[in-house]
Amino acid sequence: MRSIVRWFIKIFLCKIFYRVEFINKENEEKLDKCLICPNHSNTVEPAWIYSKTKDICIMAKAELFENKFLAKLYKYFGVFPIRRGEHDVRSIIHAINLFKDVDKRKLLIFPEGERMKKEQKRGVAKTGPVYIACKAHVPIVPVYITKNAKLFSKVKIIYGRPIYISEEVIHDKKLLKKKSEEILNTCYELKK
């Protein structure tokens, strides 16, 4: 089932409805475990990343899980909820635990925490991704995705070099926030 869905996404969402080009993807592929952290402005971005990434889980807003059928479907594909705007400790612990006792795991998290509207230049970085990466002892791969891509347009997904997080970051709130902003800045700086 997963391979059929990947094939469908690759054909229809990456070649027909959008023309998606993956750039420097080896920055992510060479890692067995990592967080993939892109900017976010389009609802299909998780599908694009999913189509080309093995052993991936995705953190998504809890509202998507209100329908029981969709919730089961999301769970099957490794998508799990997080409640935005509050400290969802349970989801953060779940994200950290995803990396335990497995040889390979990728986790897609959008550091802005929500889709940016067309008029928004960029969002404010959430500290969750940096905290998770530090606690799970995995690097963050910053990614830039063409903003507000329209149907049948060209989309670039550009992968940056892995960023390793120092343990000291999670013991200092200011440093944690600063590092989170740096990660998001790096995503936007990848734009060519």
The two tokens of residue 170 are: 């999670």
Whole-prediction pTM: 0.95
The CATH architecture annotation of domain 2-189 reads 3-Layer(aba) Sandwich (3.40)
pLDDT digits over 70-111, tens only?
999 999 999 999 998 777 899 999 999 999 999 999 999 999
Going by pLDDT thresholds of 50, 70 and 90, the confidence category of residue 20 is very high
pLDDT digits over 113-138, tens only?
999 988 888 899 999 999 999 999 99
Q: Nearest-5° angle of CA 122, CA 46, CA 159?
A: 65
Nearest Cα to Cα of residue 97 among 85, 86, 84, 107: 107
* Burial (Cβ within 10 Å: 0-12, 13-18, ≥19) of residue 156: middle
Residue spans per domain, the chain: 2-189
Mean pLDDT of 170-191: 96
Q: Tell me the DSSP string of 106-143.
A: EEE--TTSSPPPTT-S--PPPSHHHHHHHHHT--EEEE
Tell me what pLDDT residue 1 has: 82
Tell me what pLDDT residue 86 has: 77
Nearest Cα to Cα of residue 42 among 20, 16, 68, 22: 20
Q: Exposed e or buried b for every residue in 94-122, given b needs 16+ CB within 10 A?
A: bbbebbeeeeebbbbbbbbbebbeeeeee
